[in-house]
Homo-oligomer: A and B are copies of this chain.
Amino acid sequence: MEDLKRTIRSYTHVSDADMKFGLQFYKKQVLKKGAYLLKPGQYIDSFYFMKQGCVSYYTMAEGTAQVMEFFTEGYFFTDLYAYIEDIQSQSYLEALEDTVVYTISKTDVQKVFDHSHQLERFGRLSMQRTFVINFQRINQLRNLSNQERYLELLKKRPTLFQRVPQYLIASYLGLTPVGLSKIRKRLSQK
């Protein structure tokens, strides 16, 4: 769990004792491609750290997936909305590849925060990081064209396009597969 440790310490100082206390609760979990961590109607009980693989986070509407995010190596993730609000999820968390995650339960997260001010600070700072990512996402949705957002994604996460089918990327960008195909054609003609 070295990379989990490293990722936590990239946010704030955590003593060896507190780190040991925190890490004891994480369990390794292996997922085959196509397996689900979460389906609509379920309560989400865990937080995950992505060790290896790719998980898509999406809802279904009128038979098509609305992809909210692709979680890849180094991401802390869960259905954060349902997790925080403590409501039945409306979403799927599905492995798009064979995947390894480290899992910690909600009650254990609470234990860790109660026990360690340093790790509670890590919690606050990682929530801040999530804020920044979402803020930039909102700005992109508001101020960039679909074409510009496609180019941004291509620049920021180029490997995603090798790992994930295009129609899911279209969905992530808020487009239909036809729309994304048009954009790609337009760009290739320049």
Chain A interface residues toward B at CB < 8 A: 61, 66, 68, 80-81, 84-85, 113, 117, 120-121, 123-124, 127-128, 130-132, 134-139, 141-143, 174
Which residue from chain B places its CB closest to the CB of A174 in the assembled complex?
B142
Task: Say how many copies of this protein the assembly contains.
Answer: 2
Whole-angstrom distance between the Cβ of A132 and the nearest chain B Cβ? 6
Which residue from chain B places its CB closest to the CB of A80 in the assembled complex?
B131
State whether B143 touches A66 (Cβ < 8 A): yes
Residue in contact with A138 in the complex, picked from B84, B127, B141, B143, CB distance below 8 Å: B141
The answer for the CA separation of A155 and B106 in the assembled complex, in Å, is 34
The answer for the CA separation of A140 and B174 in the assembled complex, in Å, is 11
The answer for the CA separation of A109 and B140 in the assembled complex, in Å, is 30
